[in-house]
Amino acid sequence: MLILGIESSCDETAASVSLDGRRILSNVVYSQIDMHALYGGVVPEIASRKHAEKITAVVRQAVEEAGITFSQLDAVGATCAPGLIGALLVGANFAKACSLMLEKPFVPVHHIRGHIAANYVAFPELEPPFTALVASGGHTLIIDVSDYTEMTVLGTTRDDAAGEAFDKIARVLGLPYPGGAALDRLGQEGDSGRYRLPRAVVTGHPYDFSFSGLKTASLNLIHNAAQKGEEIRREDLAAGVSLAVAESIVPRVAAAAREKGRDKIAAAGGVAANSVLRAMLERECRKAGIKLYLPPLSLCGDNGAMIACQAYYEYLAGNISDSGQNCYANMNVSDSFKNYQ
């Protein structure tokens, strides 16, 4: 079964063709990051307009690179939630128009389910059930994935997402947007023990996160040093931030997997590219006898392959929609688009 998957929830215009879910025949990503970097963050209006400009070329390229014609597609999927509403609407409406012309089903896909599915693309042997960690610019989630389309959120952030904290601290350190990857690189030469940074605990919610304290503490360190005319050791702070995020996330994911009796953990989302987080996940999982799935960096960020893959499983589960399907800025990953039509 050939499925075209379209992703446009934030600042990547992406499309991909999957064969029976797992085989990716093409994966085209147009990143708008350079544009948004000028403003230090994603500007929603610009994101929508860029998606509108690029979507036709990106989709055409994805179909061509797959070596097929549009008429061979069996279904068209697109991210319909969560994300920037104007950005989502561009990809979803383009996908609906394709499905109308081709007289093939339209499959709405939850962006976070897509991130998890990046693991199915990377690891052909991976099957649910497992515990998923999704850490991106907008989300930090621990999810129990009992089946391809059945999942329960076990933990979430109470304030900022890990990626948001990384990006904000990176910005104040003078790194270009989005600063997560640059901060990670900077920290690799640093001493993570120099600055003592907080690790928050959410009382009564062992799997929940809070990163706003880490953000504030880091910004205070930078500002206080500036006021005193002192130089902050940027690489040490960067190393400390990556360590604080990893130490906040890894024990919680491992504990959640243990509690649910899962022997597999799959990581996903842009922050899963962080080197300290990856190394700590590897160490902790080895110790706990848990098999760890870490997708390659190219599949951690937003892409079309993850949507084309998840669309296949949504299709199998009967989660198809029609031309009336809308998009939603927020939606729980455990919810069904059937409740959103």
Interface residues with ligand KG4 (CB under 6 A) are 10, 136-138, 163, 166-167, 178-181, 184, 269-271, 273-274, 301-302
Characterize 231-258 residue by residue with b for buried, 16 or more Cβ atoms within 10 angstroms of its Cβ, and e for exposed: ebebbbbbbbbbbbbbbbbbebbbbbbe
- Which residues are CB-neighbours of 255 under 8 A, at least 6 positions away? 206, 207
Residue 166's binding partner, choosing from Zn ion, ligand KG4, none, with beta-carbon cut-off 5 to 8 A by kind? Answer: ligand KG4
Residue 235's binding partner, choosing from ligand KG4, Zn ion, none, with beta-carbon cut-off 5 to 8 A by kind? Answer: none
Which one of residues 144, 208, 302, 314 is an interface residue with Zn ion (CB under 5 A)? 302
CA atoms within 13 Å, Cβ hemisphere of 242: 31
Residue 94's binding partner, choosing from ligand KG4, Zn ion, none, with beta-carbon cut-off 5 to 8 A by kind? Answer: none
Spatial distance between the Cα atoms of 137 and 158, rounded to a whole number of angstroms: 14
Spatial distance between the Cα atoms of 72 and 70, rounded to a whole number of angstroms: 5
Residue 274's binding partner, choosing from Zn ion, ligand KG4, none, with beta-carbon cut-off 5 to 8 A by kind? Answer: ligand KG4
Spatial distance between the Cα atoms of 267 and 141, rounded to a whole number of angstroms: 10
Whose Cβ is closer to Zn ion: residue 240's or residue 304's? 304
Residue 184's binding partner, choosing from ligand KG4, Zn ion, none, with beta-carbon cut-off 5 to 8 A by kind? Answer: ligand KG4
How long a stretch of residues is the chain? 341
CB of 136 to Zn ion, least distance (A): 4
CB of 50 to ligand KG4, least distance (A): 15
Spatial distance between the Cα atoms of 79 and 318, rounded to a whole number of angstroms: 16
Whose Cβ is closer to Zn ion: residue 208's or residue 302's? 302
Cα 285 from chain centroid (whole Å): 21
CB of 240 to ligand KG4, least distance (A): 14
Binding of residue 156 to Zn ion (CB under 5 A): no
Note whether 153 and 334 are within 8 A (CB).
Answer: yes
CB of 91 to Zn ion, least distance (A): 13
Binding of residue 208 to Zn ion (CB under 5 A): no
Whose Cβ is closer to ligand KG4: residue 10's or residue 25's? 10
Quick one: which of 44, 51, 56 has its CA closest to 12? 51
Type of residue found at 28? V
Binding of residue 136 to Zn ion (CB under 5 A): yes
Residue 211's binding partner, choosing from Zn ion, ligand KG4, none, with beta-carbon cut-off 5 to 8 A by kind? Answer: none
CB of 300 to Zn ion, least distance (A): 9
Which of left, alpha, beta for 21 (phi over 0: left; psi -120 to 50: alpha)? left
Spatial distance between the Cα atoms of 272 and 255, rounded to a whole number of angstroms: 18
Whose Cβ is closer to ligand KG4: residue 88's or residue 292's? 88
CB of 88 to Zn ion, least distance (A): 12
Characterize 31-51 residue by residue with b for buried, 16 or more Cβ atoms within 10 angstroms of its Cβ, and e for exposed: ebeeebeeeeebbbebbbbbb
Given the rule CB under 5 A, which of 119-127, 131-139, 218-226, 239-247 is the region that contacts Zn ion? 131-139
Whose Cβ is closer to Zn ion: residue 119's or residue 136's? 136
State the residue for tokens 């979507």. 55
Positions that interact with Zn ion (CB under 5 A): 136, 302
